[in-house]
Amino acid sequence: MPLLVLFISWGTVQTEVWLHLIETQLGRLLGNTLILLLGVGVGVTLLGVSLAWLTAMCEFPGRKWFDWALMLPFAVPAYVLAFVFIGLLDFSGPVQTQLREWFGRDLWFPPVRSTGGVILVLVLVFYPYVYMLARSAFVAQGRGLMDSARILGMGPWRSFWKVALPMARPAIAAGLALALMETLADFGAVSSFNYDTFTTAIYKSWYGFFNLQAAAQLASLLLLFVAIALLVERRARGKARFAESERRHIRQVYRLRAPLAWLASGYAGLVVICAFVVPIIQLLVWIFTDAFEDLDSRYLGLVAKTLGLGAIAAVMTVTTAVLLAYAQRQHRDRWVAGSVSIANLGYALPGSVLAVGIMVAFTWLDGTIAIPLQQWLGFEGRQLFMGSLLALIVAYGIRFLAVAFGPVESGLQRIRPSILESAQSLGEPPMGIVRRIYLPMLSPSLITAALLVFVDVLKEMPATLLMRPFGWDTLAVRIFEMTSEGEWERAALPAFTLVLVGLIPVVLLMRRSARH
């Protein structure tokens, strides 16, 4: 429905608004978005593939530790790393201040609030998508393939370019597409850097000009970029299924010797330090120096509302995922499969796009049904849907349904039909089957799905900013408000809380990686 609403918004075009956008902003928005996609795409590919090859195929000091440590940046939201880097490296930050004391006031330092700065931050946050999928592809190729290449006279470099990289290309493309979709959806990081993209333009159209129609039309343009990235990801995943091998556990093929071994350790260590260690240390420094004064009843209320929203959204989203997965299992036809696929598209939609689509739809429902019905009943006509908690929960549910559906579907696949047939033959009633078979066997998957949705809801910024009811600020909203005013220290406490919570899915990923 939100997608349909966005395209229907083109039924009437505000000529003056669009002439103004074309003359002043549209070219810059397109240029900035394309530059950002190109920079992040190249960066995450180089970083993710190189680190994946090193940890999958090479032996060097600390390799086992880096194997999982390189996934830690998943826990840091892009907008958190953005304001930490700005606070550290800006003109008045501690790094430049100290360097000027050492080398003089005329020392030149590249501006952190730049195109390069925002690209660097997004690369450090999103490279794990490429790293994780590329590493799995390299491991799946097996040692025998590399040994065969060595017998044919290929060295490590040539084996990588001629054998390993072409076979891993579908997985790399899938990871790259995911990183680009996250880049298109980002709002907090680009806002911190004052870097205008479609997500910031959508926010300004609504909150700056209160023009919901223009926001919807801008959102539909952003969808074109998302559709291309989604198409690449789906096609790449389809090819990746045939590129993978069943062989998972291999010994490292190449044992690096000094100085290459220490260069590899230093390279991987530098990435972990910049993307995870430095942000954590800086947040703790700000918390212990300035942010403890914010740890009061108001902050605890903010945490309670954030956790409450996450819990409600997780329960409703997981329940919907269970119903869809069960329907797909019981009714194997094209209509059900197509409906499930469409329902799972929400994760590819930027939060700002989804929020605008739902706001337009709910505004129409209020104007055509809710308000006239109240007036007909003799009550004062008020908006019931727009600006309600229900609208926000619906947005979360659509956005993160795919996150819950994956674990739930995997859990259902482990329940073989023969188990259910045996229970029915023994006279077990339907509720007994649910209680004795479905719940025990699905519990791990349900818990995993709920945790993943819960964490994603806590970190979601654009949808929450646009749709939250009055008085329902979250930790992400608090971070946006503080960073918009340049109060990095006061944003540190909610940011650190989100990073700690964000470690939950990272731990789940690490456990899954260890099992495979």
CATH number of the domain to which 80 belongs: 1.10.3720
3-state secondary structure of 238: helix
In a domain, 213, yes or no: no
Contact 244, 137 (CB under 8 A): yes
Pair (300, 240) in one structural domain: no
In a domain, 410, yes or no: yes
The residue from 272, 289, 306 where one domain ends is 289
Please list, in sequence order, all residues whose beta carbon lies within 8 angstroms of the beta carbon of residue 306, skipping any fewer than 6 positions away.
458, 474, 475, 476
The residue segments making up the domain with residue 378 are 293-516
3-state secondary structure of 510: helix
3-state secondary structure of 254: strand
Please tell me what DSSP assigns to residue 58.
E
pLDDT in tens, 252-282: 567 878 888 899 999 999 999 999 999 999 9
Rounded distance between C-alpha atoms, residue 237 and residue 83, angstroms: 34
In a domain, 34, yes or no: no
CATH of the domain at 302: 1.10.3720.10
Question: pTM of the prediction?
Answer: 0.82
SS3 letters across 354-370? HHHHHHHHHHHHHHHHH
Pair (260, 305) in one structural domain: no
Question: Hey, how many other C-beta atoms are within 10 angstroms of the C-beta on 8?
Answer: 15
The number of domains in the chain is 2
Rounded distance between C-alpha atoms, residue 504 and residue 45, angstroms: 25
Backbone phi, then psi, for 13, in 5-degree steps? -115, 125
Please give the helix or strand (H or E) that residue 171 lies within, else none. Answer: helix 165-185
Pair (253, 301) in one structural domain: no
In a domain, 29, yes or no: no
- Closest of 185, 180, 186 to residue 230, by C-alpha: 180
Please list, in sequence order, all residues whose beta carbon lies within 8 angstroms of the beta carbon of residue 441, skipping any fewer than 6 positions away.
411, 414, 415
Q: Print pLDDT tens along the chain (516 aa).
A: 566 666 666 666 666 666 767 777 778 888 998 999 999 999 999 999 999 988 888 888 988 899 889 989 988 999 999 999 999 888 888 888 888 888 877 777 888 889 999 999 999 999 998 998 888 888 877 666 666 666 666 666 677 777 777 888 888 888 888 888 888 888 889 988 989 888 888 777 766 665 666 767 777 777 777 777 777 766 665 555 444 444 444 555 678 788 888 999 999 999 999 999 999 999 999 988 876 677 777 888 888 888 899 899 999 999 998 888 888 877 777 787 777 777 777 777 777 778 878 887 888 887 888 788 888 877 777 777 777 888 899 989 988 888 888 788 877 777 777 666 676 676 766 666 666 676 777 787 888 788 888 888 888 888 888 888 887 888 988 998 888 888 888 889 999 999 988 888 888 777 766 555
Rounded distance between C-alpha atoms, residue 387 and residue 403, angstroms: 25
In a domain, 122, yes or no: yes
* Long-range Cβ contacts of 25-29 (<8 Å, 24+ apart): 25/196, 25/201, 28/196, 29/196, 29/197, 29/198, 29/201
Pair (354, 326) in one structural domain: yes
Rounded distance between C-alpha atoms, residue 480 and residue 465, angstroms: 9
Rounded distance between C-alpha atoms, residue 233 and residue 230, angstroms: 5
- Closest of 352, 354, 367, 350 to residue 1, by C-alpha: 354
The residue from 289, 315, 342 where one domain ends is 289
Pair (339, 481) in one structural domain: yes
Is 346 buried (19+), middle (13-18) or exposed (0-12) by CB count in 10 A? buried
End-to-end CA distance of the chain: 38
Please give the helix or strand (H or E) that residue 288 lies within, else none. Answer: helix 278-289
The residue from 289, 317, 336 where one domain ends is 289
